[in-house]
Amino acid sequence: MSEPTTPTTFHLDTISANGTPFRFVLTPQEERPERSSVRYYDRRYASAPGEFGYHPSNFNEHGQGCGGARSADDFMGSHDFGLRGWHEVDAWDVDVHTRRLVGTWIANVLGLETR
């Protein structure tokens, strides 16, 4: 039996306060875990070739990309505000409670202390 491998990415699916179903994708960075990459996606849209609305430059298996990668640090801590959506798309705003939830999840996955 072979040794289990460590995942290279972790996924969290949640629904924000505005009703948008998001998928957060964490790609750990061993050297500086707090700088690990976090991307998030809108799961309302088609995400597979052949499905209505699919376009390869906008979608992947996670859904519609909501912007560039953020740092794990952007989610961790006791923030009093959410995150503004890419291109100022209101549906892609991350409310403060979702931001805190994602921060707690990141800290747990990476073995970091929450602040």
Residues 50-99: tens digit of each pLDDT: 665 555 566 677 778 888 899 999 998 777 889 988 877 888 899 999 99
Tokens 């998030």 correspond to 40
- Residue 43 inside a domain? The answer is yes
- Count: domains in the chain: 1
User: Structural domain of residue 36, as residue ranges?
Assistant: 10-110
- Residue 2 inside a domain? The answer is no
State the amino acid at position 1 in one-letter form: M
- pTM (two decimals): 0.82
- Quick check: 99 and 82 in contact, CB under 8 A? yes
